[in-house]
Structure 1
Amino acid sequence: MTRRSPYPYWFFAPAAVIYTALFLLPTVAAFWFALTRWDLYTATFIGLDNFRQFLAEPFLISGMSNTLIYAVTTSGLKTVLGLLLAVLLTSGLYAQGFLRTVVFFPVLVSTIGVGLTFTALMHPTKGAINVALELVGIDGPGWLTNPTLALFSVALVDLWKGVGLATLIYIAGLASISPEYYEAARIDGATRRQMFWRVTVPLVRPATITVITLSLIGGLRSFDLIWAMTKGGPGFSSDVLASTIYKQYQAGFYGLSTAGNVILFLMIALIILPLTLWFNRREVDA
């Protein structure tokens, strides 16, 4: 019996070292520190007390629901709008190369910079958006001061910033579709709408899975844009789980905030892993 040489496996070693140092060890450390009351110098084991206290936070339920609403809203809008923009930008439109750049450019801009800019634009009285609406006789709302609108206003800004990446993924997916499928559909008398629903949408399924997964993960762990624009306000109306965790950290409850991070990690895993398995099973069945 011939023994396989271990030589090929050595090429995995650098990636394994980096993955262990930057992901596995910090993850294990986070789970440990979540069970302690710690500061920069000492750590006292207290078991599950941090988790009990964090789950007893009065605004945790609203933070969790806001997190889910924000993630589903941004993910759904990026998926739909990203596909429509990708179809438009691959249809031979005039200056489509320039338009692709315009759509993708916000992805490259600093999230904090985007948040501060739109905070000024959405000011209820001095913001450019409401000033423009006032010129056409519309009384603009308090985008970030109305508890009902604040979370969705931030979600729209997130859509503006992130839809370019979804569009780019869909453009790559559309480029992989053979023109023969469209030619066959055209010969069968299919309209453009029918070709979109029966050819384009099914064949860009891998791109759709990628966009939904990345957008959901980004939405569930979103913090910087929300903090830059509303800091979870007004009140707690736009608080998400990540901002709740940060507020605990600001108050000096390091163990409590670490427990919150573990809860957020488990929440993302419990949503993304079953969803990924379901997508993969559907793809195999198809």
Structure 2
Amino acid sequence: MKGSFLFFLARPHYLPEALRRMRRRIGLNLLPRPLGKDRGPAERWAAARAISSDEAIRLLTGHDAQAVETLFPQIWDGALDRATRCPVKMGGAGLANLLYHLALHVRATRVVETGVAYGFSSLALLLALRETNGRLTSVDMPYPGRGNEQYVGCVVPEELRPLWALLRYPDSIGLPRAIKAMAGPLDLFHYDSDKQYEGRAWAYPLAWKHLRAGGLLVSDDIDDNTAFRDFAEHINVEPVVVRGAGPGGAGTRFVGILRKPAG
């Protein structure tokens, strides 16, 4: 708690995020748990629909796909080495293979993501964007009190960084800026930041509004709460749910994908 306080005190531009977190904490302590924020219903809903990453790639792209670590062994081995040597523990490799092939399939040139950590998702997207002459803008606020600022995105090699912009802000500040910086409709949006219902309920509609027809919204950890399920039902789009390795129920986490229809 002390580390978080000092973190925000030293960074006045993060003050709106500090106040938002304070209001949310007070609300969680004083109010009944709102509908939709329990993990159980979200996890059961996702598990009933989930397919593997390979199946999802085949369904969405129409073909089988080689793993990123097989396609780019030298780059991937270097990324794993940098993550191993990083003194701060952050998020894992995620579904890098899925992100790479989805970005390549939609011939993405404008991609925004929230949540970076080591940067494995960023790396996968950048490898695809190198082939499509595209750009990635990532939003990631360092973990308060963890001292990880200099290590965010550490697995991304120098050769790919010219295609990448990293905005070190909370979603509430960084996501609108990232969308504006793209100067056009998004081809793909990857969400892996604020796990709370409110954060997702705010970010999904904003990104969806700026996504082109045929573009993809990809969200990690949709089993945390029903925000993704509720949003998919609200826009009346059938989601693809992917089962991925992680610390969730039965050793599984889930990723949700929505393709924006024409019109």
TM-score (norm 1): 0.25
Structure with the larger RCO, 1 or 2 (CA within 8 Å, 6+ apart):
1
TM-score, scaled relative to structure 2: 0.27
Q: Which has the larger radius of gyration?
A: 1
Q: Which protein is richer in helix relative to its size?
A: 1
